Amino acid sequence: MSPNSLGITIENALQQKIATREAKLGVIGMGYVGLPLALLFSGEGFPITGFDVDDAKVKTLMNGGSYIVRVEAAEIEGARQRGFTATADYAGIASQDVVIICVPTPLNEYREPDMSYIVKTAEAIAPHLRAGQLVVLESTSYPGTTEEVLVPILERGNKAGLKAAISGSDAGADGFYVAFSPEREDPGRTDIERHDVPKVIGGLDPIAGQLAAALYGSIFRRTVSVSTPAVAEMTKLLENIYRCVNIALVNELKLLCLRMGIDFWEVIDAAKTKPFGFQAFYPGPGLGGHCIPVDPYYLSWKAKEFDFHTRFIELAGEINMQMPYHVVGSVTKALNTRRKALNGAKVLVLGVAYKKDIDDLRESPSLTIIEALKKEGAEVSYHDPYFAYVGRGRHYELQMKCASLENLGDYDCALIVTDHSSYDYERIVAESDLVVDSRNATRGIKSDKIVHC
């Protein structure tokens, strides 16, 4: 422990600041994870600065506006009145007591980890680090990221030669503290409050773990401390790979049940009445979001370093990746039964968000489906209440405007990909010539226009 001039250890001083809500917190990445987290801390009275390289986001926040549907502008304005501020200037890192990194960790075109956001963020903050700061990484990644990627960059890049505290070391005035605490956001979910989701924390050394636990304990009802950042990183991957594998299972069984003429949704409803040993998962047109389609590949990539092939995980990924193409095939077959070809057919895709009632396009299966339909010669339009326009992303370039729902009869097929609650499915079926439903959104509606896939 390193005492200051008053004999108080640096770590105790930071812990006291956290307890009294005087600790200055910098949250890097004002997206779907970072902004809600910053608002939670602001609500507890912490002075918060949001950092983001996107000037448009910074300007919106400073004007009290929101660009995320589930975050109301009133929340941001309330935070601003409590002192919340946003900036693109990383020099402000020097004045923070705690720095929390919430930046994307997508896959590249070869489905390998793209660490560029973490690397660039670490390089940007390293020159401004000062002794005694706590740095927490929340971005989902493979086990070892904190120690193998983040820490070396921070140590090389800071001007004072600071080192990260490790077990048995004396950091304090001569270094900084590092921890990993995976985000557990579930956009669109309203039955569980954010502060009710337990927070897993792995410190690079025990003091870092204690400081991070004290920090997150101020806004979460329960914290779960684990021995190392790698354990916390693997915990996050396990949570999402568990979902990925089970979704792949039900997707495969759905395809079998379609051939067998069995209503698989009825099967799930019956199975979930069992009070033990079963948890319901639901099939769909593919996986989307920032975690489930990505995390398995992070672990598979890392496993190769240990000469280990994660066959089970990779198989699940392959099954889920094929679901968008199954949907396109179902549209082709449905049109064929009406003596129409997909080439030249007018198809309206309903929903481009990766799941219902959110404004998030990341890894959305709708994007793959639209591109595949276009490749087959279909004239594709889309409608989504959350997206007036879909332009260009990391792996897509659509340049499309949201279509109206006023003339459903003008399309050869209405394809339900995202089952938003705002859609009037009775009307959609009534006014469309053909409805292909990949989400079971029209269950209960009797019509020979509907094809479930």
Annotated catalytic residues are: 291
Structure tokens given for 376? 């087959």
318 contacts: CB under 8 Å, gap ≥ 6: none
User: What does the radius of gyration of the chain's CA atoms come to, in whole angstroms?
Assistant: 24
For residues 213 and 156, the answer to whether their CB atoms sit within 8 Å is: no
* Residue 82, CA distances (Å) to 20, 34, 96, 185 in order: 15, 18, 17, 24
Backbone angles phi, psi at 120, to 5 degrees: -65, -35
* Residue 206, CA distances (Å) to 95, 138, 233 in order: 24, 18, 17
Give the separation between CA 440 and CA 72, rounded to whole angstroms.
30
Backbone angles phi, psi at 348, to 5 degrees: -105, 115
∠ CA 319-348-290, rounded to 5°: 40
Closest to 205 (Cα-Cα) out of 146, 126, 142, 267: 146
Largest distance between two CA atoms of the chain: 85
Q: What is the four-CA torsion angle of 374, 376, 378, 382, rounded to 10 degrees?
A: -40
For residues 369 and 288, the answer to whether their CB atoms sit within 8 Å is: no
Structure tokens given for 272? 């979930």
Backbone angles phi, psi at 444, to 5 degrees: 100, -15
